[in-house]
Amino acid sequence: MDGFSGLLDLLTDPTVAYLLVSLGAIGVFLELAVPGASIPGVAGSIALALGLIGLARLSVDWTGLLLMGLGIALLAADVFLPSLGLLTIGGLASFIAGSSRLFDGAPPGERVEPILTWTVAACLAVFFVVVGGAALSGLRRRPATGQGGLIGTAGVVRRALEPEGMVFLDGALWRARSAAGPLPAGTTVTVRAVDGLTLDVLPVAGPASDAPAQRAGSPATRSPSA
């Protein structure tokens, strides 16, 4: 019982409860943003539950807690929605307002120092800027596998495109169609689209030797229709 009482005493410390709720919300968000990670979700859920237990034993304004939750939700939404940072600004404002109001009216010994609120808000801003940047990079990154991964890659015309012919690309021969009129053999081209098993290509500047060389051990020809 002494150990349990000691845990409750720790949880009812306003600073500890506030930090647990803040870190728990971040962990739950990470689990939603990266499904399957599990560790952030489990740790975040435990921290959030412990923080709420502590807050339940303190004189808190639950409107402040709702504002904090709204702030976290807006910050999370800004990772997935193109808001030009407006949701981040609104989320930080809501989180700071909720943090300031969380212990409004509580005795002096049950309040969180303002410096802690601003420190947590600054950490949240940095955290979500980093996560948001990583999410945007992932959305903009060209697919590395499948036919979609061929878009933007360079190859060399092996059979003249009039407007259809064959292009050597990524260690294989592919049927291709020129979108810029007839192209002779040896022309360096780049893939602009994939139409079924046919590549739509455009000529690019530069010698044919700039195209990717055949990898060692790869077959001399590999038609997608084979």
What is the per-residue DSSP string for 62-118? HHHHHHHHHHHHHHHHHHHS--TTHHHHHHHHHHHHHHHHHTTTS-GGG---HHHHH
Token duo for residue 132 = 């948001």
In one-letter notation, the amino acid at residue 95 is F
- Domain identity same for 77 and 188: no
Which has the minimum average pLDDT: 56-65, 121-130, 167-176, 182-191?
A: 121-130
Query: In the predicted model, what is the mean pLDDT of residues 26-30?
Result: 77
Residues 152 and 110 in one domain: no
Q: How far apart are CA 60 and CA 67, in angstroms?
A: 13
Segment among 5-9, 61-65, 156-160, 218-222 with least mean pLDDT? 218-222
Q: Do 18 and 53 lie in a common domain?
A: yes
**Domain encompassing residue 164:** 147-210
pLDDT digits (tens, 9 = 90+) for 140-160: 554 444 555 678 788 899 889
Q: Are residues 11 and 100 located together in one domain of the fold?
A: yes
Helix (H, G, I), strand (E, B) or coil at 151: coil
From CA 79, how far away is CA 135, in angstroms rounded?
7
Residue 37 covered by a domain: yes
Q: What pLDDT score does 226 carry?
A: 38
Per residue in 192-212, pLDDT (tens digit) is 888 877 888 988 864 333 344
Which stretches of the chain are DSSP H helices? Answer: 2-11, 14-33, 39-56, 62-80, 86-102, 114-140
Q: What value does the mean pLDDT of the chain take? A: 75
Q: In whole angstroms, what is the distance from residue 139 CA to residue 132 CA? A: 11
Number of domains in the chain: 2
Q: What is the pLDDT of residues 120-144, one digit of tens each?
A: 878 877 777 776 666 555 555 544 4
Instruction: Examine the domain organization and report whether 180 and 76 are in the same domain.
Output: no
Do 19 and 129 lie in a common domain?
yes
Q: Are residues 109 and 69 in the same domain?
A: yes
User: Interhelix angle for 86-102 vs 62-80, to 10°?
Assistant: 160
- The larger pLDDT score, comparing residue 108 to residue 56, is at 56
Tokens 């502590």, residue located: 54
Instruction: Say whether both 206 and 119 belong to one domain.
Output: no
Q: How far is CA 222 from CA 85, 167, 208, in A?
A: 47, 11, 20
CATH code, domain carrying 191: 2.40.50.140
Within a domain: 131: yes
Of 35 and 190, the structure prediction assigns the larger pLDDT to 190
223 closest CA partner among 196, 197, 190: 197
Examine the pLDDT at 225 and tell me if it is beyond 50. Answer: no
Q: Are residues 153 and 95 in the same domain?
A: no
Q: Same structural domain for residues 115 and 34?
A: yes
